[in-house]
Amino acid sequence: MSSIKSKLTEIFSQAFTECGYDGKLGVIVESQRPDLGQFQCNGALAAAKSAKKNPREIADSIIEKLEENEMLEELSIAGPGFINIIVKDDWIAKHLNAITDDPQLGCAKTLQPDTIAIDFGSPNVAKPMHVGHLRSAIIGDALQRLFSFLGHTVISDNHVGDWGTQMGMLICELKKREPKLPYFDPSFRGPYPDKPPLSLNDLEEMYPVASKRCNDDEQLMAEAVAVTDELQQGRNGYIALWKHFVNLSLKTLKQDYDSLGIRFDHWLGESFYADRMSKIVNRLREKGYAQESEGALIINVTEENDTKEIPPVMLVKSSGGFLYATSDIATIDYRIEKFKANKILYVVDKRQGLHFEQVFRAVRKTGIVKPDIVLEHIGFGTVNGPDGKPYKTREGGVMRLSDLIELVTQKAEERMEEAGIAQDLSKEENLDTARKVGIAALKFADLMNHRTSDYVFDLDRFSRFEGKTGPYLLYTAVRIKSILRKAEEEDVTGGEIISPTGPERTLMLLLSQLPDALYNTEEGYAPSYMCDFAYNLAQEFNRFYKECHILREKDKKRQGSWLELANLCLKEFELLLDLLGIQIPERM
């Protein structure tokens, strides 16, 4: 099953082929002139250029091929050769009746499923999650949900940063504060204490202090780098401390992701690949892919047709330590071998584009990745404040994610009270609803922008119950639930969807286009297509509801049809919002 637009594309493509033209010219788009048609085909203009014919003459020949098609009510030509299309009302109704009984709502599962390893999240140990981690988490989760729904095998991994220089910074800072701890005594043979020498609060307080000191003092930074190298080379005391840091941090990180309703199949941090990094480095050195340069080990990834400078990939520093690129290469190798992934996706800030270009070139040049395996960096823009710079708190600091979630929940409560929404719910239900509304505001505000765009964080605008917002979508979905409950109380039941007579026609056509929104999202890795569709659906349903008084309609067949349309709307909302990671309350 597919959308009406897709079906039209099929039959028009066949008509172009039968008339001797390229079938790809039969692509159908929504009409730019709704007064002339519901859809249009512009292929005759392109065909005219190659065939050196009048485009209206070509359009006439296409229409002649399709005059008897059961799907089409009217075909007409406008302007230089645009074909306007009106679909038969009874065919639209028949199509929607088939959708209502389909668990996939007309969105066919892929016939060629991939095994997709998707890497998103990737916070650093010892640093609390903040607003800067938001986009990777939200976009990545929406994509993993969509890929699974469309039939792919999806393996998500939170590639936690637990093996880099921040570890050295923390170890140095703790040594400065508690030099007598056994972890710093090279002669200590253990066992090291099971209980960590500091709390999570201590760790979170310590990191920014350590980071600032190292960034302000070259000697301290060199010390931290040297300690990191010792950690990576297996110094026992540092390994024991590192385990404490990781265990303390992961608990909080998992709580933050849980609060957003985001799950991962794996939490394989950089350290997981330590042994593999060593083996890969040795292998690449032996095969001649890696060369020494000023004491470091590098892979040259330049290509003849480069129009910009692409620096080499550094595998090993002159001090002997590994780098992010080494970890990423080892990770790709693991995901192909163990996950059997034929597509590996990285949902990471677009400013990391050069890094991924280097790494992808390195793994292809060295044969780690074969030509048939897809590697994609799914870059995204930044979340900015009103000043156009990355979003900060009023005090100028980076806002912790847990504080942000609390903030959006409070704002949702205020908005609900202003609008008189959910006032008859218990205190517990009200808080649960506010949390769902707040998370919806947060996620939809992010996802409705194309992922490559930066956007300004404006909580006042995002949390409104009108306009293109998450709360508006929730309110519409809850309104439909209320209509269906009231219909059940009045013993009104849905029936077969029948041919439209007026206001419901636009809604019916829109309901048929859900597959297009999902396939566009899959193709462009852009959840904004689903957001646009959900918002358009909310607007169209509210127009329909205003003009078609379902529960007061006297014609029982028409009433049953309208009620079934409302039910189908709810099903599509539930699917779309679930794919976006947004929960719908029962009542508001």
The encoded tokens of residue 588 equal 């508001």
For the stretch 35-94, pLDDT in tens is 899 999 999 999 998 888 999 999 999 999 998 899 999 999 999 999 999 999 999 999
Residues in the chain: 588
- Whole-number pLDDT of residue 395: 52
Q: Distance between CA 390 and CA 381 in Å, rounded?
A: 10
User: Residue 122 carries which DSSP code?
Assistant: -
For residue 517, the tally of other CB atoms under 10 A from its CB is 24
How large is the average pLDDT for residues 158-164?
91
**CB-CB neighbours of 129 under 10 Å:** 23
- Dmax (CA) for the chain in angstroms is 91
Supply φ then ψ for residue 157, to 5 degrees: -140, 125
Q: Residue 242: name the closest of 231, 253, 226 by CA.
A: 231
The pLDDT, as a whole number, for residue 215 is 93
Q: What is the pLDDT of residue 399?
A: 75
Q: Is 65 helix (H, G, I), strand (E, B) or coil?
A: helix
Among 17, 207, 41, 228, which residue's Cα sits nearest to residue 126? 207
User: What pLDDT shows up at residue 469?
Assistant: 97
Share of the chain above pLDDT 70, in %: 99
Element holding 156 (H helix, E strand): strand 153-157
Mean pLDDT of 459-488: 96
**For residue 350, what pLDDT band results from cuts at 50, 70 and 90?**
very high
d(CA 515, CA 521): 10
Among 63, 79, 84, 56, CA closest to 11: 63
Strand partners, 118: 156, 345
pLDDT digits (tens, 9 = 90+) for 189-225: 889 999 999 998 899 889 889 999 999 999 999 999 9
Whether omega before 191 lies within 30 degrees of 0, making that bond cis, reads yes
Q: Which of 430, 436, 383 is nearest to 408 (CA)?
A: 436
pLDDT at 251: 86
Radius of gyration for the alpha carbons in the chain, expressed in angstroms and rounded: 29
SS3 447: helix
The pLDDT score that the predictor gives to residue 387 is 79
Tell me the per-residue pLDDT of 1-30, one tens digit each, with 9 for 90 and over. Answer: 689 999 999 999 999 999 999 999 999 999
Q: What are the C-alpha distances in Å from 150 to residues 2, 300, 346, 521, 571?
A: 13, 39, 19, 11, 16
Phi and psi, residue 582, nearest 5°: -115, 130
Q: Domains in the chain, ordered, with CATH?
A: 4-87 (3.30.1360.70), 161-263 (no CATH)
At residue 321, the pLDDT reads 83
Collapsing DSSP to helix, strand or coil, 582 comes out as coil
Structure token pair of residue 101: 């009984």
pLDDT score for 393? 58
Please tell me the distance from the alpha carbon of residue 406 to that of residue 300, in angstroms, as a whole number: 48
pLDDT digits (tens, 9 = 90+) for 370-427: 999 999 999 999 888 887 777 765 555 667 888 888 999 999 999 999 988 888 889 8
* Paired residues of 587 in beta bridges: none
Q: Give the residue-averaged pLDDT of 551-567.
A: 96
Which tokens belong to 349? 């800030």
- Residue 284, H or E segment: helix 274-286
Give the whole-angstrom CA distance, residue 95 versus residue 274: 55
pLDDT in tens, 252-295: 899 999 999 999 999 999 999 999 999 999 999 999 999 999 99
Mean per-residue pLDDT of the chain: 94
Q: With bands split at pLDDT 50, 70 and 90, how would you rate the model's confidence at 534?
A: very high
81 phi, psi to nearest 5 deg = 160, 20
Per cent of the chain over pLDDT 90 is 83
